[in-house]
Amino acid sequence: MIDCEGLVKIYKTDDLEVVALQGLNLRVEDGEMMAIIGNSGSGKSTLLNILGGLDRPSAGSVSVGGWDLLKITEEQLVEYKRDTVGFIWQNNARNLLPYLTALENVEMPMMLRGKLDRAYAKQLLEWVGLKERMHNKLQQLSGGEQQRVAIAISLSNRPKMLLADEPTGSVDTRTSDMIMDIFRRMNRELGITVVIVTHDLSLASKVDRVVAIRDGLTSTEFIKRNPNLDEEMAAGAGSLQQVHEAYVVVDRVGRLQVPKEYLSALGIKDKATIEFDGERIVILPPKSLEG
């Protein structure tokens, strides 16, 4: 679904140049549910904006669902954003029209496309637990309910991929769990690829894979060893815990993106020595081999 290779994004003004992404590599399979984590300024929201067609990359390659986002025309970009991707922001005011009911908000993207499907709009609101609230105006809904309306809106045109920028950042823990359960259900039942950007490490146990971004680079991946373990089984197993394994990213020409804190711990700055013992590749600082 997503294939990024050496992705670069540079923001320029008259006297300032900021490199938000500096050669990021990322691959997301069709139907995967994953999270991208990173601190503020790491580049994760920039990446999401590029994947959502809200911003243009500066260099590298990025394709989503067969679309080349580096070469896509403005007309094609409209079609891409309408048919391929659904977007959810932390601030749900960007998703919602306050003077409409929940149902009317979900129907609006359909009307703009010229394909109103009221039965499907109602079904979406039922899926997010708002069957009894669909005719309420937004001011009559809580923040968590409004966020669930935003999820229904993002699915109104049956996208292939759902992008969520800090979707649980402004709600309580109970509502956060409910929203993540909705994402998982949509992922399993509709086969939608779900990519969630967050700084909340607790979400790691609720997705299939976690990718960490630091300084505009994909630094580490965390893969569940038991990705097919149902939540119900995990809950019934009592003390059973999800086990994760960390990986560094290898790009197409064999370069490793090693987390900066690992290099700092070894005192490695601009050069390193590697050894191959037949089974493992060992990275060492040059001075460790002297003498």
Q: Is the domain of 266 the same as that of 245?
A: no
Q: How many CA atoms lie within 13 A of 120 on its CB side?
A: 14
In a domain, 217, yes or no: yes
194-217 core/surface letters (b: 16 or more CB in 10 A; e: else): bbbbbeeeebbebbbbbbbbbbbb
Q: Is the domain of 16 the same as that of 117?
A: yes
Q: Is the domain of 50 the same as that of 120?
A: yes
In a domain, 130, yes or no: yes
* Paired residues of 4 in beta bridges: 26, 62
Q: Is the domain of 200 the same as that of 282?
A: no
In a domain, 71, yes or no: yes
Q: Is the domain of 145 the same as that of 219?
A: yes
In angstroms, the CA 221 to CA 257 distance is: 11
In a domain, 234, yes or no: no
Q: Is the domain of 46 the same as that of 177?
A: yes
> Can you give the pLDDT at residue 231?
46
φ, ψ at 289 (rounded to 5°) = -100, -5
Q: Is the domain of 12 the same as that of 128?
A: yes
Under 8 Å between Cβ of 265 and 258? no
Q: Is the domain of 27 the same as that of 110?
A: yes
Domain that holds residue 262: 258-291
Q: Report how far apart the first and last C-alpha atoms of the chain are (Å, whole number).
A: 50
In a domain, 189, yes or no: yes
In angstroms, the CA 223 to CA 211 distance is: 9
Number of domains making up the chain: 2
Q: Is the domain of 59 the same as that of 187?
A: yes
Q: Show pLDDT as tens, one digit a residue, over the chain (291 residues).
A: 999 988 888 888 777 888 888 888 888 999 999 988 877 777 888 899 999 998 899 888 999 988 999 889 999 998 898 889 998 887 666 668 888 899 999 999 888 888 889 999 999 999 888 999 999 998 888 888 888 898 999 998 889 999 998 887 777 788 888 888 888 988 998 899 999 988 777 776 788 888 888 776 765 565 554 444 444 434 433 333 444 455 566 666 666 767 667 777 778 877 888 887 777 888 888 764 444
Any idea what the CATH number is for the domain that residue 85 is in? 3.40.50.300
Q: Is the domain of 85 the same as that of 223?
A: yes
In a domain, 14, yes or no: yes
Q: Is the domain of 205 the same as that of 266?
A: no
In a domain, 235, yes or no: no
Q: Is the domain of 247 the same as that of 276?
A: no
In a domain, 211, yes or no: yes
Q: What tokens appear for 79 in the block?
A: 């079609």
**What is the residue whose two structure tokens read 């064999």?**
254
> Can you give the pLDDT at residue 102?
92
